[in-house]
Amino acid sequence: MKQKKPLYEGKAKVIFDGPEAGTLIQYFKDEATAFNAQKKDVINGKGVMNNYISEHIMLAVGERGIPNHFISRMNDREQLIRALEIIPVEVVVRNVAAGSICPRLGLEEGSVLNNTLIEFCLKNDKLGDPIIAPEHIFTFGWATPSELEIIIEDTLRINDFLTGLFLGIGIRLIDFKLEFGRYEKDGLIEIMLADEISPDNCRLWDAETNEKLDKDRFRRDLGGLLEAYQEIARRLGIKIPQNN
């Protein structure tokens, strides 16, 4: 069998060549990192959970007409995805103050924002993903104004949809991070959602108790990360095979 060739290794995923032109394979690892990988560990089974949870959410987002890179789940750890040219901008959506915005702006964790806030960070680990303004995105050519308009529109629709989806299972969507890319087909370029949507890149709090059911369990040494991800999957109605 032909050995798959890794094209890119990130902190939580590996990207391989896909079986056909225009496709890639996204492999979910068990590594958990935080604070730009200053803190790391391996949490057995995390990759499998994120693969299934992200599949579920990407399919649902796609059904709402928001284009994304997901094609199919191949097995417990791999997804077939469309090959995109990734836009090096992380789109952070905040409904409630938590995480880095609290010390940065002197906010109390848990305070509800007056409106949904979108922040942009440059996707560059060496620089620690610095926060940037739209003007930086245009000046340095990371995306055009019309591309950013589509990204913002898709992001707000995803936030509305996910907020409702999670509230329906007793979870508050506090914040999350998205990535987008360009997909070229027949000479046309379409902006698509990329990466993953999972408890690794969302803050999810139980609606009754405000218990954290996301990667903050690892970031803050709260323990029980896998159990929290299993609880998210269970409430979403996702069946995940055991022994991974």
Residue 200 carries which side chain, given as an amino acid letter? D
Task: Count other C-beta atoms under 10 Å from residue 197's C-beta.
Answer: 24
Q: Which stretch binds ligand ASP (CB under 6 A): 20-28, 29-37, 52-60, 130-138?
A: 29-37
Q: Does position 235 bind ligand ASP by CB under 6 A? A: no
Task: Give the separation between CA 160 and CA 153, rounded to whole angstroms.
Answer: 11
| Tokens linked to 96 | 């409630």
Task: Give the separation between CA 171 and CA 114, rounded to whole angstroms.
Answer: 19
Q: Does position 219 bind ligand ASP by CB under 6 A? A: yes
Q: Does position 117 bind ligand ASP by CB under 6 A? A: no
The residue whose Cβ lies closest to ligand ASP is 33
Q: Which is nearer to ligand ASP, 18 or 199 (CB)?
A: 199
Q: Which is nearer to ligand TMP, 23 or 100 (CB)?
A: 100
Report in angstroms how near the CB of residue 43 gets to ligand TMP at its nearest. 16
Q: Which is nearer to ligand ASP, 37 or 133 (CB)?
A: 37
Task: Give the separation between CA 174 and CA 66, rounded to whole angstroms.
Answer: 21
Give SS3 for 183: strand
Q: Which of 78, 54, 46 minimizes the C-alpha distance to 230?
A: 46
Q: Does position 26 bind ligand ASP by CB under 6 A? A: no
The footprint of ligand TMP (CB under 6 A) covers 92, 99-101, 129, 175-177, 201-203
Residue 93: φ, ψ to 5°? -110, 130
Q: Does position 157 bind ligand ASP by CB under 6 A? A: no
Applying CB under 6 A, the residues found at the interface with ligand ASP are: 11, 33-37, 215, 219
